[in-house]
């Protein structure tokens, strides 16, 4: 059984990571001291997109799986708020942008009152939703780690080995590249507060001070103030350039696992450089999925309608807005069930994307509660997906399941939720002893179905149950006869869905009408369209008397 369980991606990763630590005395010592650190980071440069959420949920799942394997593990998510504003922000005026370009996000004013700074606002927008996404993360600020001296040790190592880092940059990007010819540190100008406009040219090992000049021309998009002099690089007086910072974080935080999007893992990309600096300069083994100079694979993109998520370009759906397109639990399920190395292209406007998402979640839930038996291997996989994607405590019995199309049919048939609940009890979707929590679960699904119908569903899903059969309805005699018979049968007794399904086909056979013609006539009479929801289930949900009275008008 354990071997089959390990076929799921998160279990495979946990197993590999634990084996790596057990076979490495250095890592084993680190883990014994503070457990397995699973790490991720995000620059709060503006609205953060749902693509970043894929990384957060992947890391959260890995940390949970490590804990399931009996080891101490924590997921830490850091806001890279020491990075500078490098593009004009929509929340600032032109004058403000001119002033703030090059200043770290943690020192910029928040666009909204109640937040510490610009970076805190955009980061907190996302992390405020972590509970509803089931993400268990310890949150921190990279800027605070600079300020509290956490990076001081790696800053000294990097500056003492500046020439070695310069050669690494030259190796990958050529000798003319910027950091092949300058110290691997960006001083925060003590006069103007900018971090992008300073050039550090000298390092005094004895005094542990760095010489900088804040001037125009260091970057094209920000202007310096002319300040220059010697300054300590420690405790918040600056930061590493990105690729050096990535490598420095690993020993600073004792990171064991940190993956990222595949764009960071391209040949000679940021992960390649970070791995080499980590090994050659800091003497630290890069975290999983990297090993030595080998970067390993990053995770694939999360696209919406084929468009890659991009924070800087402002494309796609934001992480915050994602819950307006699908419930957080369904998005988490989508991200958990999909292997990290597989592209996800999700579109709420594609009917199958949403319907199948709900159906697959319900299938996994049925397997978990032993209401559905697939192959032994698939049972183990679906059970594991459900365990890692379910948010909150797993209930003692399977929650009432209402598939999305049935829910969509109900919200278009009834005006109030109470009537929908009555219908669901009648059709057996909801048990008679339903609990308050189970009702809340069903209500949420009905609420989303209503939103989906109004905002995303195609016209083929939408309908309106008619109050009376229109006089303009044109049906042939066979269609009229078969529908009248159906109405008479419905007036006599209650039917369960399968029983009614069989009765409909018996009527078609008796009258001699083609099934397609019968269904077309029924839908035209009931909803004024040639196609609609599954007829037998629709009639049972609506109520036989209501349908019988309509068909009696034919």
- Residue (of 360, 365, 410) closest to 384 by Cα position: 365
- pLDDT value of residue 7: 78
Q: Which domains does the chain have, with CATH numbers?
A: 1-141+243-346 (3.40.50.620), 152-239 (no CATH), 404-455 (no CATH), 477-551 (1.10.10.350)
User: Mind giving me the DSSP string for 21-55?
Assistant: HHT-HHHHHHHHHH-EEEEEEE--SSPPBHHHHHH
The 10 Å Cβ neighbour count of residue 224 is 22
Show contacts of 382-388: CB within 8 Å, 24+ apart: 384/5, 384/8, 384/10, 384/11, 385/8, 385/333, 385/336, 385/337, 388/10, 388/61, 388/64, 388/65, 388/336
Q: Is 219 helix (H, G, I), strand (E, B) or coil?
A: coil
- pLDDT value of residue 338: 97
- pLDDT value of residue 188: 98
Element (DSSP H or E) covering residue 308: strand 307-308
Instruction: Show the tokens assigned to 472.
Output: 């303009």
- Residue (of 142, 93, 135, 101) closest to 120 by Cα position: 142
Q: How far apart are CA 460 and CA 263, in angstroms?
A: 39
- pLDDT value of residue 309: 42
pTM score of the predicted model? 0.93
- pLDDT value of residue 1: 31
Preceding amide of 289 cis, omega within 30: yes
- pLDDT value of residue 316: 66
- pLDDT value of residue 174: 95
Tracing tokens 């349908």 back to the chain, one arrives at 547
Pairing assessment for the beta strands 228-231 and 209-214 based on DSSP bridges = antiparallel
Which residues in the chain come in under a pLDDT of 70?
Answer: 1-6, 305-316
């Amino acid at each position: 059984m354990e071997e089959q369980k390990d076929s799921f991606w998160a279990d495979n990763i946990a197993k590999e990571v634990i084996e790596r630590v057990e076979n490495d005395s250095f890592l084993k010592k680190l883990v014994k001291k503070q457990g397995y650190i699973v790490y991720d980071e995000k620059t709060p440069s503006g609205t953060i997109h749902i693509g970043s959420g894929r990384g957060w949920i992947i890391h959260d799942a890995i940390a949970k799986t490590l804990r399931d394997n009996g080891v101490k593990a924590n997921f830490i998510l850091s806001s890279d708020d020491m990075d500078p504003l490098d593009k004009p922000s929509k929340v600032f005026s032109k004058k403000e942008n001119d002033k703030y370009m090059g200043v770290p996000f943690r020192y910029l004013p928040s666009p909204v009152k109640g937040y510490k700074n610009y970076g805190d606002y955009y980061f907190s927008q996302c992390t405020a939703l972590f509970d509803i996404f089931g993400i268990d993360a310890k949150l921190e600020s990279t800027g605070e780690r600079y300020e509290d001296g956490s990076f001081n040790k790696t800053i000294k190592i990097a500056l003492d080995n500046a020439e070695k880092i310069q050669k690494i940059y030259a190796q990958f990007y050529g000798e003319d590249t910027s950091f092949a010819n300058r110290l691997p540190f960006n001083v925060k100008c003590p006069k103007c507060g900018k971090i992008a406009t300073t050039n550090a040219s000298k390092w005094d090992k004895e005094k542990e001070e760095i010489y900088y000049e804040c001037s125009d021309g260091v970057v094209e998009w920000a202007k310096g103030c002319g300040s220059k002099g010697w300054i300590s690089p420690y405790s918040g007086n600056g930061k590493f350039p990105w690729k050096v910072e990535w490598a420095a974080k690993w020993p600073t935080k004792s990171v064991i696992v940190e993956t990222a999007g595949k764009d960071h893992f391209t040949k000679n990309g940021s992960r390649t450089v970070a791995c080499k600096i980590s090994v050659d300069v800091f003497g630290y083994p890069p975290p999983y999925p990297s090993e030595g100079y080998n970067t390993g694979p990053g995770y694939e993109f999360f696209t919406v309608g084929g468009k890659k998520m991009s924070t800087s370009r402002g494309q796609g759906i934001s992480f915050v807005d994602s819950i307006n397109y699908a419930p957080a639990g369904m998005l988490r399920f989508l991200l958990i069930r999909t292997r990290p190395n597989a592209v996800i292209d999700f579109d709420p406007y594609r009917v199958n994307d949403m319907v199948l998402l709900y159906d697959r979640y319900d299938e996994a839930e049925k397997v978990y509660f032993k209401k559905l038996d697939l192959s032994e291997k698939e049972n183990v996989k679906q059970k594991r997906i459900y365990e890692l994607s379910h948010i909150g405590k797993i209930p003692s019995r399977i929650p009432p399941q209402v598939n999305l199309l049935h829910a969509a049919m109900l919200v278009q048939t009834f005006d109030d939720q109470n009537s929908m609940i009555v219908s669901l009890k009648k059709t057996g979707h909801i048990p008679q002893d339903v609990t308050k929590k189970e009702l809340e679960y069903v209500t949420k699904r009905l609420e989303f179905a209503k939103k989906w119908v109004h905002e995303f569903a195609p016209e083929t899903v939408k309908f309106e149950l008619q109050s009376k059969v229109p006089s303009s309805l044109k049906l042939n005699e066979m269609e009229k006869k078969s529908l009248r018979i159906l109405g008479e049968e419905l007036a006599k007794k209650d039917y369960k869905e399968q029983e009614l399904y069989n009765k409909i086909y018996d009527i078609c056979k008796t009258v001699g009408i083609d099934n397609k013609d019968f269904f077309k006539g029924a839908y035209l009479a009931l909803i004024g369209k040639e196609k609609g929801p599954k007829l037998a289930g629709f009639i049972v949900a609506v109520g036989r008397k209501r349908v019988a009275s309509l068909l009696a008008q034919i």
